[in-house]
Structure 1
Amino acid sequence: MTEKLLTPSLNKGFVKPERDYLTCCVDWFQLTIWDVSPQVVCEEILGIPFNLMQNDYEAGMTNYSPFVCFDDIRIMTPRHDPERQGLQLVMKGQGCRQFEVHLNSQGITWVDFFARCFQYRVNVPRVDFAIDDRKTYLKMKSVKKKVASGHYRGDLNIASPKGDMNLADGTSRGEGVTFGGTASNVRIVFYEKNYERALKTGNEKQLDEAWNRYEIRLRQEKAVEAIKRLVNRKETIATIAFGVLAHYICFIVPDKENKAKRKSRLEVWKPWAEFMKDVESVKLVVEPGGRNFSDFMAYLMAQVACNLKVLRAVEDAVGQNYLDTMIEQAQLKPRHENLVETFVREIHTKEIETDVPLESWKSQYRK
């Protein structure tokens, strides 16, 4: 990634409330680490006790075999030459969301974690940043028409329209465009996230949600430069993501009178100009535990419940009670106590049936 790739570096010093429609997150992180053991990767880089890792039975990747994992946080070992290949740490989308739980528990950010990584001999084969657009500034059908008509200027010379169709009735199941070839170190993917979520969850109501996603996929030197700029505090994740978009993509309005000889002189398409303005107000999203009790319970159901059921089955088989022991030994920190108070107040406010007084938890769990 070059300096030019990351321009403009925007810091105008103000935030517009309407930009809350946009959020930004890390959506893929892959790290090659040399000269350390998997245990060091777990405990010193990830901050996860090695004894919590499980055998990884999922598929590996080219030249690497699955070794251990914590849910979707995976460590792989080389198949041929360990000294040359090193270890692979891989976190895809869900793995990133799960890792944010550990970041939160350690009281650090993604940038702090990246800085920790660079204390070792490492490379970053890939990092993805995702911008979620809940206003849908861009309509995917219009974007595809712009691309098909050549109303585009930028450094990515290949675009691949994408879209699914329901064969039962011919309705759309999501539109999108991928910019950049498969071998490019920069690829940008636009798509309608609501369709993808509805397909995964089976919840047709999600089809009515307004949700576009714009993914910036950086590889090798582009990924390394992006992470270094974050660690050196030269950029934020949002400005890097939007800076890449600004450099590689711009949709334009055609010159009907053919007066402009260069595309650089053509007017910028209004939806794109609106989308790209004031990008400094886009925030990095880290929401590992949810903001309310319903979200918290949904998180537990999705990420923890199966493991708890496994533990309960083990307890029943061996006649032990490990879960109660863990709960008894756990020490709540101030942020955990704040969560308890928040959730209890929320439940009482909603008049959900409960016999637990608002303050009674303190005598039970504070020690």
Structure 2
Amino acid sequence: MHMDISAVVMSVRVGADNGLVSGKLFPAKFLAQRLRPVYGQAVTMLFDYVRIRFPTLDIGHIIKDILQLNIQYMIHEDFGHYSYTEHYYIGDIFVYTSPDEEKGVLLELKGKGCRQFESYLLAQERSWYDFLMDALVDGGVMKRLDLAINDHTGMLDIPELTEKCRNEECVSVFRSFKSYASGELVKHEEQDKAGMGYTLYIGSLKSEVYFCVYEKSYEQYIKLGIPIEEAPIKNRFEIRLKNERAYYAVRDLLTYYDAERTAFSIINRYVRFVDKEADKKRSDWKLSVRWAWFIGENREPLKLTTKPEPYTLDRTLRWIQRQVDPTLKMLETITAKTGIDYLKEIRKSTKLTEKHYKIIEQQTTSTEDVILEKEN
């Protein structure tokens, strides 16, 4: 059963003939009770980006003792990013290094990298907390941490939040916000900027903390073809932290082991959405019902969750399906009609590189063989 929260909100509006002032809403507790049987868990939270710098040039130590992975299954490239000169990777787990001692070793896990690393953590019987503790004890310096809060119900209406920003109903220490319509080019470095749907940035993208709220359902439709109404995640609220802010968030996580406390203490410190009340000062305006529920009023507690996903060739297969397979089908059709087998001739001269053999090895090796047990 699929239902947009706005329809539910409208359904609980009552008129004056029911003894209440027209246009008012039932309490958030009532709203939550109406929605919980429909949606179950309203929000979940994941790590969506992790970048840590280690003050060492011993990349083998980081891969073996911190990631606890077998380096022989990783691909080595003689180039890097962020001015690093080389890197090792398996799937979307990247470890960069260079001869420059000040740069050290850099670990980068983007969204898919986090999900893949969770499959290794699961096999290692470790948690994110265990990994982060190991990283910090080893001298790791947090460079970036993204906490993604997934809205499974549609409680976050991005256009509505944008309008509240324009209508001074966003009370924030941030001085700026930017919004983009669905399908509009997001004008900065985003992995999926073409498919993020309605997007709202709260805070400066150059600061050490800012928020990005976007329609995850639209992204899933563009990338995977999942109908928007069937998407398991409607919206995503990302807390993006850099440098010192990322470090303090990790320290808080490791102190309290309470992801909800960490995430919403950051959100509540920087922003709240309210409903305008003409007869009151702006500081006294009440929280909007949607926002109150999102930050925790009468909803289920939020815990840090994982979604382990093994490394797959999905992106390569999608590329082949879109770009290569039509040409292959064309050649097969020509062969069927003329007997000339162009594909067979091409295949005779095709040679696999060392990288291709390494990918074959990665795809045919079990997770248990890729991981290492930490030595005491």
**Shorter-chain TM-score above 0.5:** yes
One-letter identity of the residue aligned with 1:269: S
Kindly provide the CA deviation profile for residues 311-337 of structure 1, in whole angstroms up to 9, marking residues without a partner as x: xx89xx99xx989x967x97xxxxxxx
8 A Cα contact 2:208 2:242, kept in partner: yes
Which residue in the other structure is 2:155 paired with? 137
Indicate the larger mover: 272-281 or 208-217.
272-281
Q: Given the alignment of the two structures, is residue 55 of structure 1 paired with residue 55 of structure 2, yes or no?
A: no
> Offset at 1:71?
0.9
How well do the aligned residues superpose, as a CA RMSD in angstroms? 3.6
Kindly provide the CA deviation profile for residues 158-199 of structure 1, in whole angstroms up to 9, marking residues without a partner as x: 1011223489xxxx9721200111221101010000111211
Quote the Cα distance in structure 2 between the aligned partners of 1:249 and 1:283: 21
Quote the Cα distance in structure 1 between the aligned partners of 2:122 and 2:167: 46
8 A Cα contact 2:211 2:239, kept in partner: yes
1:26-41 alignment, distance < 5 Å: 26-41=47-62
Which residue in the other structure is 1:264 paired with? 283
> Offset at 1:136?
1.2
Equivalent residue of 2:101, what SS?
helix
Q: Given the alignment of the two structures, is residue 24 of structure 1 paired with residue 45 of structure 2, yes or no?
A: yes
Kindly provide the CA deviation profile for residues 46-77 of structure 1, in whole angstroms up to 9, marking residues without a partner as x: 010111110247x8433223411111110112
8 A Cα contact 1:152 1:249, kept in partner: yes
Q: Can you give the 5+ residue segments of structure 1 that lack an aligned partner in the other structure?
A: 1-14, 290-295, 307-312, 331-367
Q: Can you give the 5+ residue segments of structure 2 that lack an aligned partner in the other structure?
A: 1-31, 186-194, 319-351, 370-376
Q: Given the alignment of the two structures, is residue 128 of structure 1 paired with residue 151 of structure 2, yes or no?
A: no
8 A Cα contact 2:51 2:108, kept in partner: yes
How many residues matched?
287
8 A Cα contact 1:56 1:74, kept in partner: no
Quote the Cα distance in structure 2 between the aligned partners of 1:138 and 1:105: 35
Which residue in the other structure is 1:341 paired with? none
8 A Cα contact 1:160 1:178, kept in partner: yes
> Offset at 1:286?
1.2
Equivalent residue of 2:261, what SS?
helix
8 A Cα contact 1:29 1:128, kept in partner: yes
Quote the Cα distance in structure 2 between the aligned partners of 1:152 and 1:218: 20
Quote the Cα distance in structure 1 between the aligned partners of 2:131 and 2:361: 31
8 A Cα contact 1:195 1:207, kept in partner: no
Give 1:274's match in structure 2, choosing from 284, 288, 293: 293
Give 1:241's match in structure 2, choosing from 250, 260, 263: 263
Runs of 4+ in 1 over 6 A off after TM superposition: 303-306
Give 2:66's match in structure 1, choosing from 45, 52, 61: 45
Quote the Cα distance in structure 2 between the aligned partners of 1:226 and 1:158: 23
Q: Given the alignment of the two structures, is residue 229 of structure 1 paired with residue 252 of structure 2, yes or no?
A: yes
Task: Summarize the Cα distance change of 1:246–1:235 in structure 2 as closer, same or farther, 3 Å threshold.
Answer: farther
Which residue in the other structure is 2:273 paired with? 251
8 A Cα contact 1:144 1:161, kept in partner: yes
Which residue in the other structure is 1:196 paired with? 219
Q: Given the alignment of the two structures, is residue 214 of structure 1 paired with residue 237 of structure 2, yes or no?
A: yes
Which residue in the other structure is 2:90 paired with? 70
Equivalent residue of 2:199, what SS?
strand
TM-score by length of 2: 0.67
